[in-house]
Structure 1
């Protein structure tokens, strides 16, 4: 069977990771890398593929079946328009765009040119996340009452040597990191209808936030909260607790808690709590814990596999433009809530 031809657009940290994954994946050929930064040429040399400063040159010369777009959020629409014009399917890194208007335009362009767009909310491809959704959706869990999330770790000082990470818009943990948590909340618990958030930059004194607390209400009536900080000496975050990315120091802790009327679940240790006897429920009765771990997979590899299926016409995007736009809308509403110091209803 003929190998799929994939190219990477944007050779930063995540673009380099995608290049590595493609080069190690059977049935797929990395055919080129494009970036306006000439220094990214070294990444192309590493994988022995052609480097292009001009995106059009890559598309016309290599004619890839699909591209992975990992440029800054503000450039997603421009790059997507060029790729769609050439009838090339796309995996666009999260968030889909930096504005609702831009997200809408990407959707319109893709539909007009009849190309597929998969948005890179890769954690949805995690076996732990899929198992979590199965457990929460099961009738045995009962009604979802609430969820509590912690995203608290310490980013090293050299992380902020790149100026845009200290500046608005685009810098700060909300857009860079918490878009993951927001997307998982929607995916696991249903649509979010209202948010109320407060943020602080008192620890690092940067223009962007370093800590924040977010209250959410779901369409089902369930409630949730997120405490987030990139300046706390703590391990309670998806990155450190799931052990997915070997860059982060692994810890055996939980970071999310899902609370139901019949059962409750901790993540990622997948500890399910319920009363031994459903006829005797209450704080004076025994409550037991059981483990529900599943085989671990690399969600980035699973996402690449799924993208290949999308290109071949064997699957529709697991995270579509319209789906990803809803996660972006929640993040933008959180920003609005912080600025106005008021609860904000999410526009439908």
Structure 2
């Protein structure tokens, strides 16, 4: 089978999952990896059995055959790296969550991608989970019926030492708080499973760590269907992670998805026997969804197929995220499609950004 050549920029923990997914795909091949930290780049190169670089400009010079770049750098660097790679090298991009920090970044990136005739693939891998697909289909096909209340609860523990691991963590410019970092997948799944959200009223707070951003947030939401819901996301729970769940109370019953990464169908009242059948065991919070993501990225390029999450769909989750922040800033209801960028989230910090920029003078490769 004809394959697509991938390169990776950013060799943190999630890079392992992307490397594994490429290795498992019959239509994809990993060519090289890059990270400003030589040790991390070398470690991932050994895992992928490919050359490593500390300068992505050098990586592209040595490997012009790379067709798709997976951006796994800190969140606040995604936009700058994406713009540079599209403008200089005209590569397709896979970008981890959140794929942009602001609505404005997303709109600009879309214009650049269209002009360069390249595709951007936002990563929302949890949409691929068996339990998620099962509940979504049960709603769409009428088994559960119309949603009446949709709820997200993420009650996790991220103590001060977590935020002290890297300078970008817990910052408005490069990370965002519990809603943005830990909550983005759950916020996305709420609209994916229960339908589009039209407006929100949110309250955010910082209660468990000395950081710029929120570690606790609650939002009331209204769906386009007339249903209502609640988003509760926190990293200030102590001393452990307690819960991460999505529930849909519908006209014909209740569905609850839980587990370390929305992988367990905990409750399905119309047919409880489905719970075991539609659940998966994950070894970590990344799950198996990246396997499908990489396979479908390659298919989209090879055969011009529609991707799992189209750009505008992915950007709608970013709009919802900013509506939550704007509601907290304004102290009132905010319409999602009329929301402007938060005054805090994604505001650039040049000193922080400089720590994660690639020097074009320094590079190294090794097998």
TM-score range, shorter chain: 0.7 to 0.9
Could you tell me how far 1:43 is from its partner in structure 2? 2.6
Q: Does the aligned pair in 1 maintain the 2:92–2:118 contact within 8 Å?
A: yes
Give the 3-state SS of the residue equivalent to 1:148 in structure 2.
strand
Q: Does the aligned pair in 1 maintain the 2:28–2:295 contact within 8 Å?
A: no
Give the 3-state SS of the residue equivalent to 1:318 in structure 2.
coil
Could you tell me how far 1:24 is from its partner in structure 2? 4.6
C-alpha distance in 2, partners of 1:289/1:33? 45
Give the 3-state SS of the residue equivalent to 1:206 in structure 2.
coil
Equivalent in the alignment of 1:167:
171
Could you tell me how far 1:51 is from its partner in structure 2? 2.1
Equivalent residue runs for 1:70-89 within 5 Å: 70-85=72-87, 86-89=89-92
Equivalent residue in structure 1 for 2:269, among 273, 288, 295: 273
Name the TM-score, length of structure 1 as normaliser. 0.83
Structure 1: segments with no counterpart, 5+ residues = 239-254, 275-287
Equivalent residue in structure 1 for 2:303, among 274, 289, 313: 313
Higher relative contact order (CA 8 A, sep 6+): 2
C-alpha distance in 2, partners of 1:168/1:101? 16
Equivalent residue in structure 2 for 1:177, among 167, 182, 193: 182
Equivalent residue runs for 1:39-54 within 5 Å: 39-46=39-46, 47-54=48-55
Q: Does the aligned pair in 2 maintain the 1:95–1:324 contact within 8 Å?
A: no
Equivalent in the alignment of 2:70:
68
Could you tell me how far 1:314 is from its partner in structure 2? 5.1
C-alpha distance in 2, partners of 1:56/1:36? 12
Give the 3-state SS of the residue equivalent to 1:333 in structure 2.
helix
1:258 aligns with 2:248: yes
> Does the C-alpha gap of structure 1 residues 158 and 20 become closer, same or farther in structure 2, counting only changes over 3 Å?
farther
Equivalent in the alignment of 2:57:
56
C-alpha distance in 1, partners of 2:8/2:137? 33
C-alpha distance in 1, partners of 2:172/2:83? 26
C-alpha distance in 2, partners of 1:308/1:269? 30
1:12 aligns with 2:12: yes
1:204 aligns with 2:183: no
C-alpha distance in 2, partners of 1:126/1:289? 18
Measured on the aligned residues, the alpha-carbon RMSD in Å equals: 2.3
C-alpha distance in 2, partners of 1:167/1:89? 28
Moved over 6 A (4+): none
Q: Does the aligned pair in 1 maintain the 2:178–2:217 contact within 8 Å?
A: no
Equivalent in the alignment of 2:137:
134
C-alpha distance in 2, partners of 1:195/1:272? 27
Map Cα deviations across residues 65-114 of structure 1 (whole Å, 9 max, x no partner): 21211123333233323433434222111222111111011111111122
Map Cα deviations across residues 194-245 of structure 1 (whole Å, 9 max, x no partner): 111112222324332222111111111111102222121455444xxxxxxx
Name the TM-score, length of structure 2 as normaliser. 0.79
1:294 aligns with 2:278: yes
Equivalent in the alignment of 1:279:
none
Moved more, 175-184 or 337-346: 337-346
Q: Does the aligned pair in 2 maintain the 1:117–1:317 contact within 8 Å?
A: no
Structure 2: segments with no counterpart, 5+ residues = 258-263, 281-286, 339-367
Q: Does the aligned pair in 1 maintain the 2:12–2:72 contact within 8 Å?
A: yes
Could you tell me how far 1:260 is from its partner in structure 2? 0.9
C-alpha distance in 1, partners of 2:335/2:83? 31
